[in-house]
Amino acid sequence: MVVATKAIVFSAIKYSEADLIVSCFTEVAGIKSYLLRNILKSKKGKLKASYFQPLTQLEIIAEHKNKGTLEYIKEAKVFQPYQTLHTDIIKSGLVMFLSEMLRNCIREEEANTELYGFLENSLLWLDQNDEVANFHIFFLLQLSMYLGFYPDATNIEAKYFNIMEGNFQAVNTNNYCLEGQQIENFKNFFTVDFEFINKIKLSKNERQNLLELVLSYYSFHVQGYQKPKSLAVLNQLFS
């Protein structure tokens, strides 16, 4: 079946001498993996390796056999050209980290237009704005909503956050209840949107500790979660 769809590149891995295996989150079919033959050598083909940098937004025409095998892209063009995402060192570090997290968390081969729209708009915001130190924390919190485990903030004024249950509570009921400045910083991200995340003032250590909290939360709620290898690079960029 030939489909035309928007797609966001999650990863591109070299296969053999001149091929790439590319993982994309497509608007019409969720996660799809494609084999791009000879793309690293051919200069005359319709596909260019530069199209498949992490988190690039594309329009593709692809052949989907839907048999669990690698699919085939017939045509591709950049849908939303980025101005800074792959050239700014901080943003490129965020791209590396977020693409790894997205590969880790999104595996469904089915359409999810709301999630796709969230990713599309979030990446454009990241590309177009300069103050992005808090972006990844807010992004991951919002992403959890689309993945089905957004924390219950009904009792957000309570002292403890139960990282396993995903709620705020007044009483410490188990070893998964956390308190202190880390939790107070976390609460600030529930009452803003992208336009105001730069108003949340955090020291480098506070931001790093808060990211560790969010990743710990993901580890409880994402099946098969793996700690991102790019985390060390991200922490260096923000240190």
Supply the pLDDT for residue 86.
Answer: 94
What are the structural domains of the chain? 2-78 (2.40.50.140), 89-237 (1.20.1440.120)
Supply the pLDDT for residue 239.
Answer: 64
Q: pLDDT by residue for the chain (239 residues), tens digit each? A: 999 999 999 999 999 899 999 999 999 999 999 999 999 987 777 899 999 999 999 999 999 998 888 999 999 999 999 999 999 999 999 999 999 999 999 999 999 999 999 999 999 999 999 999 999 999 999 999 999 999 999 999 999 999 999 999 999 999 999 999 999 999 999 999 999 999 999 999 999 999 999 999 999 999 999 999 999 888 888 76
Supply the pLDDT for residue 237.
Answer: 80
| Whole-number percent of the chain with pLDDT over 70 | 100
Three-state secondary structure string covering the chain: CEEEEEEEEEEEEEECCCEEEEEEEECCCEEEEEEECCCCCCCCCCCCHHHHCCCCEEEEEEECCCCCCCEEEEEEEECCCCCCCCCCHHHHHHHHHHHHHHHHHCCCCCCCHHHHHHHHHHHHHHHHCCCCCCHHHHHHHHHHHHHCCCCECCCCCCCEEECCCCEEECCCCCCCEECCHHHHHHHHHHCCCHHHHHHCCCCHHHHHHHHHHHHHHHHHHCCCCCCCCCHHHHHHHCC
pTM: 0.95
